[in-house]
A = this chain, B = another copy of it.
Amino acid sequence: MDNARIDDVLKKIERTRQARRHKFYLRDEKISLSHGSGGKATHNLIEGVFAPAFSNPLLDPMDDAATFSINGTGQRLAFTTDTYVVSPLFFPGGDIGKLAVHGTINDLAMAGAEPLYLSAGFILEEGFPISDLRRIVASMAQAASEAGVAIVTGDTKVVQRGKADGLFVNTTGVGIVRATWQLGQTQLQPGDKVLLSGPVGDHGIAIMLAREALEIETDIESDTAPLHTLVAALLSAAGEGIHCLKDPTRGGVATTLNEMALGSEVSIALEERAIPVHDGVRGACEILGLDPLTIANEGKLLAIVSPAMAGTALATMRAHPLGSEATIIGSVQAEPPGLVFLHTDIGGMRVLDMLVGDPLPRIC
């Protein structure tokens, strides 16, 4: 880029930073689908309603899992919750049950925890076929068993026909934190490398294509997978070199990295060409006008790693079946704080914002 274009970009960045000061102001009077996107509107809602009301030292870091010590034991536990409303309930590569087990395992894993126990809370709509419920429950049981966790407590509620959409499920999880250091979105350091465990966008596009009667032929399946063994390998190999782990679900890589940049008051610079995207996802995104970086993933993680340990972490990821296509996609810088930008394939540079609006409601 020539100097004039760089100046333009920097001016835009400054304008964006100004705008961000008011970013999480909740102006809306009613809930809209975008409040469930995981992107900017979700943050507005969280910062405008939940965070001030519930504020406490364990909640305030706004990581996906809370961690706390059990008095006098020297053990730290991680605790996380997620409700699943994905539509359709069955999709290529999985179903709502498998997704609910994997998603909560992954939120525990991203806190550096070994997942132990899950709860399952169901909302069923009157008229829902019990055969479908059996399939979903069997899928949850299998996913839990394969991951070595147990579903130990549950609850079932039923609402009248038309007051839900078949089945919703909440899974909440408890695990033991194995990382002895602080992990999380406030821990990024300038110089850190950004590692991505594999191609992005599979889950979101698989759901969208399963839902809409779109004439796009692909073999894209959801990437839903439990990432705890990949995390265990990373923590073991790279230790305190691992500063933050996060699975880019709702809102995709773009939103997740923006949360980190804001949480640590750093900048993240990405190389677009380094980010793997399956051809089918890229094609579908082009047709639909979507950015693969804002599309949800359910079996991928971002690891922010010290420069000294980045090579070790990358090799460890590539040696694991769920990280065989891992790459380094960017790095952390001190300035400008709170921003993510992308060096594009065509030699340009653009600010990569959180997901705005919601192209894909009910993705998880």
Contacts and interface: CB of A to CB of B under 8 A. Distances in A.
B172 A58 contact: no
A70 interface: yes
Copy tally for this chain in the complex stands at 2
B66 A158 contact: no
Interface in A20-54: 26, 28-36, 42, 45-46, 49-50, 53-54
Contact of A82 (B71, B125, B152, B155): B155
A15 interface: no
Given A85-B123, A128-B31, A130-B30, A137 B70 contact: no
A231 interface: no
A341 to B, nearest CB: 28
A153 B81 contact: yes
Contact of A151 (B59, B68, B120, B159): B59
Most buried by B among A120, A127, A153, A168: A153
Contacts of A73: 70, 73-75
Q: Is the interface of A mostly helix, strand, loop or mixed?
A: mixed
A164 to B, nearest CB: 6
A58 to B, nearest CB: 4
A216 interface: no
Nearest to A362: B159
Interface in A93-131: 116-117, 119-131
A123 B83 contact: yes
B79 A75 contact: no
23 contacts: A30-B128, A36-B124, A36-B156, A45-B130, A49-B134, A53-B137, A53-B141, A58-B150, A58-B153, A68-B116, A68-B117, A73-B73, A73-B75, A81-B119, A81-B172, A85-B123, A121-B121, A121-B172, A157-B168, A159-B362, A160-B165, A163-B165, A164-B165
